[in-house]
């Protein structure tokens, strides 16, 4: 009996050692505390936003992102959530990004998946890389270079990158010269970059539509209102350990229709499942109102959807702040019925008492003489989206004390 028990104990020890060995090889650092430092809300890429010729299947793309907080150890999340076939990748690298497509090649690192460079991502799935050492500084520009073997015709991506990406024919992972690359202002496959961070480092997930996605900001200037907000957080000692995750999708709705999964559906993926998330800003609803054939019904549906997201956030220990819907009366969406819906929904956001706080963006961007229209100096000539100055006004309006 003692001999059998000894053999059994030895087997258990051997199994434990094998598991530990596998964990080390995968590089996942299962005991590490991860926080997202950059993220984007992925969706099915519409045909007109797909990669230009020569495409990315069998080719290489270099994409640039700007992180929020820094760290010494990172991991990368890639997605084939909306793919209609297996996504096959030959290799991925990270490097500090310089001007244009240039990188600091001396600091480039290969991204591994269970110790391997190549990875197949099944349709409907995403993968997270092994942990890797990478000196990441706050608001650093990072180049993610991906050499693809095969890309499905349905591509998972994020069209509203407001950032130029660079495509070269063939496997050019180690090529530092992308000067002759074909360019496109979209992201593909990349979904999130995480860092290992101690308490009290945390993330703020912002759920929104085209305004949060950056419509009206300047391509390659990284001046969305969320970027302005992130820079303010980092400059303030009491909030300098907070990351910002922009989960905006252009044309997105809260309830139904629009582009990408609606906010009610993607709330779990884009908020609850984000590593290290502590705060949520909910700034969405204008497209539901704008598309609505029955604004009075939309009012009730939006309030019900907001309430459900608030309850979900609170059930997971998160603080959630409601942002009022900005004016759109003079844009193509405008009608008296839709404006009444906006006013009623905003009144509920301000007075319901369910949100942990309210960020009254209407006040930040409306005309000084009429709160139902946008300040003419702050919109993108469409009376709906902020221009660069409008994004600055929104980003500077948020009270940092809410996050201290």
Give the count of domains, the chain.
2
pTM to 2 decimal places: 0.92
Share of the chain above pLDDT 70, in %: 93
Please report whether residue 251 resides in a domain.
yes
Q: Which of 313, 307, 396 is CA-nearest to residue 354?
A: 307
- Phi, psi dihedrals of residue 188, rounded to the nearest 5°: -135, 140
* C-alpha–C-alpha distance, residues 25 and 268, integer Å: 30
At 270-316, the pLDDT tens digits run 999 999 999 999 999 999 999 999 999 999 999 999 999 999 999 99
What pLDDT is recorded for position 19? 37
- Going by pLDDT thresholds of 50, 70 and 90, the confidence category of residue 29 is low
Please report whether residue 31 resides in a domain.
no
Query: Higher confidence at residue 60 or residue 19?
Result: 60
Q: Does residue 363 share a domain with residue 395?
A: yes
Q: Is the pLDDT of residue 23 over 60?
A: no
Last residue of one domain, picked from the residues 149, 167, 192 = 192
CATH of the domain at 329: 3.40.50.1110
At 143-166, the pLDDT tens digits run 999 999 999 999 999 999 999 999
Please report whether residue 178 resides in a domain.
yes
What pLDDT is recorded for position 104? 97
Please report whether residue 29 resides in a domain.
no
- Going by pLDDT thresholds of 50, 70 and 90, the confidence category of residue 177 is confident
At 265-279, the pLDDT tens digits run 999 999 999 999 999
348: helix, strand or coil: helix
Q: Does residue 265 share a domain with residue 145?
A: no
Q: Does residue 213 share a domain with residue 74?
A: no
Please report whether residue 82 resides in a domain.
yes
Could you tell me if 398 and 359 are in contact, meaning their C-beta atoms sit under 8 angstroms apart? yes
- Going by pLDDT thresholds of 50, 70 and 90, the confidence category of residue 30 is low
At 61-79, the pLDDT tens digits run 999 999 999 999 999 999 9
Q: Which of 162, 191, 204, 122 is CA-nearest to residue 403?
A: 204
What pLDDT is recorded for position 31? 75
Q: Does residue 183 share a domain with residue 67?
A: yes
At 328-382, the pLDDT tens digits run 999 999 999 999 999 999 999 999 999 999 999 999 999 999 999 999 999 999 9
Q: Does residue 132 share a domain with residue 43?
A: yes
Average pLDDT over residues 5-9: 39
What pLDDT is recorded for position 11? 41
Q: Does residue 357 share a domain with residue 232?
A: yes
Share of the chain above pLDDT 90, in %: 92
Q: Does residue 124 share a domain with residue 53?
A: yes
- Going by pLDDT thresholds of 50, 70 and 90, the confidence category of residue 132 is very high
Q: Does residue 355 share a domain with residue 239?
A: yes
Please report whether residue 90 resides in a domain.
yes
Burial 72-83 (b: 16+ CB within 10 A, else e): ebbbbbbbbbbb
Q: Residue 67 CA to chain centroid, in angstroms? A: 11
Q: Is the pLDDT of residue 88 over 70?
A: yes
What pLDDT is recorded for position 38? 98
351: helix, strand or coil: helix
Using CA atoms, how far residue 253 sits from 340, 359, 384, in Å, is 18, 19, 15
Q: Does residue 139 share a domain with residue 64?
A: yes
Please report whether residue 26 resides in a domain.
no
Average pLDDT over residues 34-53: 98
* C-alpha–C-alpha distance, residues 214 and 211, integer Å: 5
Q: Is the pLDDT of residue 3 over 60?
A: no
At 180-225, the pLDDT tens digits run 999 999 999 999 999 999 999 999 999 999 999 999 999 999 999 9
Domain carrying residue 322: 199-403
Query: Higher confidence at residue 143 or residue 14?
Result: 143
* C-alpha–C-alpha distance, residues 277 and 290, integer Å: 30
- Phi, psi dihedrals of residue 303, rounded to the nearest 5°: -60, -40
- The 277-283 sheet, strands edge to edge: 242-248, 202-208, 277-283, 319-323, 357-359
Q: Which of 162, 161, 168 is CA-nearest to residue 187?
A: 161
Last residue of one domain, picked from the residues 192, 217, 246 = 192
Q: Does residue 47 share a domain with residue 181?
A: yes
Burial 172-206 (b: 16+ CB within 10 A, else e): bbebeebeebbebebbbbbbbbbbbbeeebbbbbb
* C-alpha–C-alpha distance, residues 157 and 80, integer Å: 8
Last residue of one domain, picked from the residues 146, 176, 192 = 192
* Strand residues in 6-86 grouped as ranges (E): 34-39, 43-44, 60-66, 71-80
Please report whether residue 343 resides in a domain.
yes
Q: Does residue 187 share a domain with residue 214?
A: no
Q: Does residue 312 share a domain with residue 212?
A: yes
């Amino acid at each position: 009996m003692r001999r059998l028990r000894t053999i059994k104990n030895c087997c258990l020890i051997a199994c434990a050692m094998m598991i530990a060995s596998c964990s080390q090889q995968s590089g996942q650092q299962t005991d590490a505390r991860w926080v997202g430092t950059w993220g984007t809300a992925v969706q099915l890429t519409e045909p007109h936003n797909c990669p230009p010729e020569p495409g990315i299947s069998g080719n290489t793309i270099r994409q640039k992102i700007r992180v929020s907080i820094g760290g010494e150890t990172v991991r990368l999340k890639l997605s084939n959530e909306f793919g209609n076939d297996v996504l096959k990748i030959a290799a991925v690298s990270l490097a500090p990004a310089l001007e244009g497509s240039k990188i600091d090649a001396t600091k480039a690192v290969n991204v591994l998946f269970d110790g391997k460079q190549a990875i197949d991502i099944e349709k409907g799935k995403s993968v997270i890389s092994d942990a890797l050492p990478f000196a990441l500084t706050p608001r650093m520009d990072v180049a993610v270079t991906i050499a693809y073997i095969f890309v499905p015709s349905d591509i998972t991506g994020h069209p509203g990158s407001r950032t130029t990406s660079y495509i070269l024919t063939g496997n050019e992972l180690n090529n530092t010269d992308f000067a002759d690359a074909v360019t496109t202002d979209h992201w593909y496959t990349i979904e999130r970059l995480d860092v290992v961070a101690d308490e009290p480092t945390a993330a703020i997930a912002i759920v929104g539509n085209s305004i949060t996605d950056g419509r009206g900001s300047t391509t390659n200037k990284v001046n969305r209102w969320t970027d302005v907000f992130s820079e303010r957080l980092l400059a303030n000692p009491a909030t300098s350990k907070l990351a910002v995750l922009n989960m905006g999708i252009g044309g997105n709705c809260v309830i139904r229709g629009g582009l990408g999964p609606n906010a009610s559906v993607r709330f779990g993926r884009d908020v609850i499942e984000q590593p290290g998330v502590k705060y949520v800003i909910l700034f969405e609803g204008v497209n539901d109102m704008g598309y609505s054939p029955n604004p009075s019904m939309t009012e009730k549906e939006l309030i019900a959807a907001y309430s459900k997201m608030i309850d979900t956030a609170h059930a997971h220990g998160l603080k959630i702040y409601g942002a009022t819907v900005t004016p759109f009366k003079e844009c193509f969406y405008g009608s008296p019925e839709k404006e009444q819906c906006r006013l009623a929904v905003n009144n509920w956001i301000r007075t319901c008492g369910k949100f942990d706080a309210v960020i009254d963006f209407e006040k930040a961007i409306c005309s000084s003489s009429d709160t139902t229209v946008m300040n003419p100096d702050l919109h993108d000539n469409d009376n709906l989206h902020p221009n660069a100055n409008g994004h600055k006004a929104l980003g500077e309006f948020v009270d940092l004390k809410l996050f201290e």
